[in-house]
Amino acid sequence: MLQDFLDLFHKNDQLRVIDYPLDVYLEIPHLAYLEAKKPDGGKALLFTNPINKKENKKFDIPVLMNLFGSPKRVELIFKQTGEEIAKDINALLEFRPPKNLKEFFGKFNQMANLRHIFPKKRRFFKPDFQEIIYQGQDVDLYKLPILTTWENDAAPFITMGQIYTQSLDGTKKNLGMYRLQIYDKNHLGLHWQIHKDGQHFFNEYKMAGKKMPVSIALGGDPLYTWCGQAPLPYGMYELMLYGFIRKKSAQVAQCFSNPLYVPSDVDIVIEGWVDPNIMRLEGPFGDHTGFYTPIEPYPVLEVSAITMKKNPIFPATVVGKPPLEDKYMGALTERIFLPLLQKTAHGLLDYFMPENGVFHNLIFAKVDAKYTGHAKQLMHSFWGVGQMSFVKHAIFVGKDAPSFSDYEALSMYILDRFDVKNLIISEGVCDALDHSSNDFAYGGKLGVDATQGICKRDFILRDSQDLLFALQKNIPEVIDLQQYFIDSNTPICVVGIKKDQVSVLELLKKIDQEILYSLGIVFFVDYYKNDLKNPYMLIWRITNNIDAKRDLQIMEKTLFVDATDKGVMDGYHREWPKETDCTPSVLQNLKSYGVLEGVSEKMLKKFHICGFKKEE
């Protein structure tokens, strides 16, 4: 099945085959990382000769990357648009029993399609993914071309596995997608975050004192992988969504060494059991936030069997600083799940999660506010629903707001209506990958209500040099600044600062009241790590680096935000993580091999490929 999609990509000029031998350690993922950052998302990459230089090993399994990394490939995979799928979901949500025979026939096709949502078990045949079987002493994860993406990753990680689990009584099933660390030839770390169904099932097995079956499938129809990250309600099996979208049931077959069923057309299956009493440190890993995540204890899968087709393909993805493949996966998720979200947030018209806000860090929502406090009510609704509860910063605009794709006009709309009185500073659960909160998976949240109409203020616009000089008189640690949207009612000022054992908020005590009339929203960032003229990466860093309960301060009508790296002086006692930077020597190798195509110095600089650091 996966090969069928590669043939389709090839016909549509969406596939690049790389025969040159490249290392699973850094080289393959670095090339895919750069490919995904091309303006059109680049092409899918098939590496036909993956090697492990350190072990002097060649793999006979090709590696496929950037599978979902362009609008065209997403269209080829889904065979319909996100809007069309959303329309079908909305019709299902609005379904009413037919009142007469005429209505019955009118709704017959709609009802008939529901027969496809349940997976069909194929019990009496040997699936293709069991053409080759390794069990017992023959189990060896290192036979697979598993990648090490970043220099400081703890180990190789499986990044595009479909993780199949079921509840203790077998009545609920789940398909998830999360990273899997290789400990040794037959043990994997399972990065179950607190909100994953797999974690809920795990707790059931732990209370019962029983081992939990887990199977990891790789390959097959790419739609399985997308369904694994879909934000479905607890207890709803993701393969039902697959059947709904494909309009045909997923065909599943039983695994070789545990009772779980996986799709019969997948390429590779890793099967095993989890002892709920055994936890092991997992990480660090450079994740989709663009930062390394901390070392934390997670469950361990003891692999009992590895089965595969005779000619399998090993799919993988690369995560790090945006934009990457998840940009296109996330955009489709937005469209498809809008109708479902609208059912729990009355008045929601649309929403948008920009990739440089790494999705859960920033969301824009367009609402039809009907009464005072309606937008704020919807903010709280968002923070209480499923995976939306992990959103850190929410900006709500009215139905008259410009398109989300018109960044300039949308920003002006928001800033013309910005008022510190219309902010909500709250707290709640955060994504386990969030590094800025003082506590693991729990921290501050910010809501901005820009639905209340234009808000004018007495603002004294200053030339940037004059404003810089005035700020430096108050705070000598300030080095440079850049102003944005100076024609709006609330200009933005990004200030580059060099912190020295004193928190930014402590330094604000030195600010003269007079200068507040020239400041609307002020973001403080570390000068030597930021390009003040690169708003794309500034948004990425600012939304990653702030905790609303700790890092915001309001003075008169001015909002100050500390988006610098945090330390003890800020009341932050966790370890501040490193960023996911490419290794320059690896990029040089790729260039010398002649495989680095369409990568300019401008692109490397724009997306901070090897980090960004100004000279002292």
pLDDT per position as a tens digit, 35-67: 999 988 999 999 999 999 999 999 999 999 999
Best CA proximity match to 164, nearest among 64, 272, 34: 272
Residue 294 — left, alpha, or beta (φ > 0 → left; ψ -120 to 50 → alpha)? beta
How confident is the model at residue 500, as a pLDDT?
A: 86
Q: Residue 386's pLDDT is what?
A: 77
What confidence score (pLDDT) does residue 381 get?
87
Indicate which residue of 197, 287, 431, 531 is catalytic.
287
Number of Cβ within 10 Å of residue 14's Cβ equals: 23
What are the percentages of helix, strand and coil residues in the chain, rounded to 5? 35, 25, 40
Residues near 562 by Cβ (< 8 Å), separated by ≥ 6? 503, 504, 505, 524, 546, 551, 552, 553, 570
The three-state (H, E, C) secondary structure of 127-140, written as one string:
CHHHCEEEEHHHCC
Low-confidence residues in the chain, pLDDT < 50: none
Which of 3.30.470.20, 3.40.1670.10, 3.60.70.12, 1.10.3860.10 is the CATH number of 464-570?
3.40.1670.10
Which residues, 6+ apart, have CB-to-CB distance to 466 below 8 Å? none
**CATH annotation of 326-450:** 3.40.1670.10
Whether residue 287 lies in the annotated active site: yes
Contact 493, 519 (CB under 8 A): yes
Closest CA to 64 of 261, 241, 250, 225: 225
Structure confidence by residue, pLDDT tens digits, 146-194:
999 999 999 999 999 999 999 999 999 999 999 999 999 999 999 987 6
Contact 178, 229 (CB under 8 A): no
Domain with CATH 3.40.1670.10 in the chain: 326-450, 464-570
Question: Which residues belong to CATH 2.30.110.10 in the chain?
Answer: 2-315
CATH class of 2-315: mainly beta
